[in-house]
Each structure stands twice: as C-alpha cells, then as structure tokens.
Chains A and B, each alone.
Chain A
Amino acid sequence: DGGITQSPKYLFRKEGQNVTLSCEQNLNHDAMYWYRQDPGQGLRLIYYSQIVNDFQKGDIAEGYSVSREKKESFPLTVTSAQKNPTAFYLCASARDSRNTEAFFGQGTRLTVV
C-alpha cells in the first residue's frame, strides 16, 4: 500500500541532544512538508521541500534542520537550539507543490525529559 510513514511514534529527548525524526513516502510525491502541532493550536510549517536536493524554511524553522537527498525521504532534525521542542510533529507529502492535496503521516510525539 502506498503511504507516508513516520517513525518513531514516540520519542524522548534529553535537553541538549539532537534528535532526528524519520519521514518516508512511497507515493512518488515531489513535495514534502514538516508541521508542528501544539495542544489547542493548528499546525505550523517548519520546513518544506518542492523537489529533491532543495528545501525552504517555513514559519518556525529556527532550531530545526532537514535534508532531501532522496525523493522518498525528508528527515527532520530537532537541534538543541530549539528551546521548546516538546510537540507533535507531522510530515506530509503532495504530488507536487501545485497540487495542494496533502497526505499526512501518523505523527511523532517528541517529549523532552
């Protein structure tokens, strides 16, 4: 079955550590996105990529980094510079950036301990 897979589902991080969240899709989509969700709030865009080897900052990119070395993969690293990383992280993909119907993964819940 085609889809978008995020791992792990739950992740715990100690303060000062970097962690990487995985996002893989087998939908052959060009565009991929990372959103952050906080309780009682909508989703906010962290980074997005419209094509392999290219990505742009979203609205809240500070303290995060990404790479897009392969079409199917768009990992997100939460660095120690992110002061409030505890949140639910959602990855999404779309056929291309002009096709606005996005498909979402199941999310990763990151908790700083």
Chain B
Amino acid sequence: GDSVTQMEGPVTLSEEAFLTINCTYTATGYPSLFWYVQYPGEGLQLLLKATKADDKGSNKGFEATYRKETTSFHLEKGSVQVSDSAVYFCALAHGSGNTGKLIFGQGTTLQVKP
C-alpha cells in the first residue's frame, strides 16, 4: 500500500542554519504531496503542497519539490528561526478512490536554538 517515510528526528539546528527534512513516498497513481506543521499541543497546519511532478510548493520560506523520479518531497528552508521549532509531517493524498484520505510519515521534530 501507499506509505511515507521521513528522516528520523529530532533535528537540532542553530538559528539561521539551512534545513533539510527528507521525505520519500511509495504510492500508486499520482498522489498529491503535502507538508504539515504541528506546534506543541496544537493541530496540524498545512505548510505547503504540490499536486503533480516537478511542482514546487512554497510558503513562509519553506520549499519542497515533487520529484517523481526519486519519489521524494524533501522540505528545505534557507535560514531557520527559533519560531520554526515544531513537528513536521510529510503526507500524501491516497492515490485511489478520491477519498481524500491522507497518509502521513511519522513526523520529524525540529528544534532551533538561538
């Protein structure tokens, strides 16, 4: 079945460092891909998305490119801030049946230190 694999955390960076969180997927069909962010004690917020191969999603300085050839959707940011500390989830929309179901990776905790 469809699945998402993220790099294990936690990831600890100093402020202004470059961030990469790896995400790879296995899916039938042509899924849409997402990055969600979760701040402590809260629900998930959509950070960015891409709906087809070679699309680049971007928001708040974060970027991710849908790479079908490597089945990847890595999250990057050029200069992280303390306020970026959160848990980041990579997800895909279930490829069949148009149910809208999301399949999530296990999440990667990012801690940014001043």
Contacts and interface: CB of A to CB of B under 8 A. Distances in A.
Whether A and B are associated in the same complex: the answer reads yes
A45 B99 CA distance: 12
Interface stretch (A14-22, A70-78, A79-87, A93-101): A93-101
A50 B32 CA distance: 18
Contacts of A96: 100
Interface residues of B, number: 23
A48 B99 contact: yes
A52 interface: no
Contacts of B98: 97-98
Contacts of A48: 99-101
Contacts of B42: 106-107
Interface string A14-36: 00000000000000000101010
A98 B106 contact: no
Contacts of A42: 4, 89, 91, 104-107
Interface of B: 4, 32, 34, 36, 41-46, 49, 89, 91, 93, 98-102, 104-107
Interface of A: 6, 31, 33, 35, 40-45, 48, 50, 56, 58, 90, 92, 94, 96-107
26 contacts: A33-B100, A35-B102, A35-B104, A40-B106, A42-B4, A42-B91, A42-B105, A43-B44, A43-B89, A43-B102, A43-B104, A44-B104, A50-B99, A50-B100, A58-B101, A90-B43, A96-B100, A97-B99, A97-B100, A98-B100, A100-B93, A101-B34, A102-B46, A102-B100, A107-B41, A107-B43
